[in-house]
Amino acid sequence: MDAVDQPCADAPALAVVQFAPHTDIDTNLAALTEHVRAAAARGARIVVAPEYSMFALGRLDERIHAAAQPLDGPFVTALSRLAAETGVYLVAGVVETTTPDDGRIYNTLVVLGPDGRLHTHYRKVHLYDAFGQTESEIVRPGPLTEPPLFTADGLTFGLQTCFDLRFPEGFRRLAAAGAEVVLLPAQWIPGPGKIDQWTTLLRARAIENTVYLAAADQCGPRGAGSSMIVDPAGRVLSELADEPGIASAQLEPEVLQKVRRSNPSLSLRRFDITTP
């Protein structure tokens, strides 16, 4: 049996958490805590939770302003304690304050390490002004900074959020910067054909960039579910339906390198990604 089919015993395990956050921050934190502890008990070293894990609405409105907190606020502080308690790298979506005169919030991902430290964060760049929604009325787009990367257990991870999935340049930029795994927290709004689009785009982003891709979605009623982990050849390693739960898989550097040797698309590309 070759390396693609036989997991390496010391390969780091990754888990995606699927649940249904709403407007009670304490209840959301309690549900997330339960899932993260369960994922850690299964051996996960990296745990990815959905976009807006802190506070979620089916359609954004002014309630989200009162919920927003700074990155050193109580919700992220609680996540840092949880990461330290469970010994994982925890990625989750939060509602972050901006400047007092801005009138909007940031849709932000945070990465807390097993040392309890905030390793990096990413503010969503592509806002969901589609399918009848206008996220930009409430959310300020994140700045075009250096690619959001962090390293854990010898692998390099990059971050994107939900609607970013429809823009391949961001994923290619991460891969070109060294990402081997891309993590995608999401609140993928349900609708006709949305699951087909979600699955197709996740597998495409993994294949074209030869990366592992781990997508943690909210489940219903405000998300479509179908959280999954995809390998660099586009094979779905683990997935969920539309109920709360945890999906996990091993991340194997040997598999990554084997795929990149047989399909060296990153080195064969003829175009570069630049930021405006």
* Residue 162: active-site member: yes
Q: For residue 20, is pLDDT > 60?
A: yes
Name the packing angle between helices 74-86 and 25-41 (round to 10°): 10
| Structural domains of the chain, with CATH | 13-268 (3.60.110.10)
Q: Which residues pair with 91 in a beta bridge?
A: 48, 111
Choose, from 96, 124, 135, 239, the residue flagged as catalytic: 124
Tell me the pLDDT band of 35, cut-offs 50, 70 and 90. Answer: very high
**How many other C-beta atoms can be found within 10 angstroms of the C-beta atom of residue 27?**
11
* Residue 219: active-site member: no
Both tokens of residue 3? 């390396």
Q: Which of 178, 239, 186 is nearest to 210 (CA)?
A: 178
Quick one: average pLDDT of 175-184? 97
* Residue 51: active-site member: yes
- Residue-wise pLDDT tens digits, 236-272: 999 999 999 999 999 999 999 999 999 999 999 999 8
User: Is this model's pTM higher than 0.85 or not?
Assistant: yes
Quick one: average pLDDT of 68-74? 97
Choose, from 62, 85, 96, 162, the residue flagged as catalytic: 162
Q: Quick one: pLDDT at residue 102?
A: 82
Strands 212-217 and 228-230, by their bridges, are antiparallel
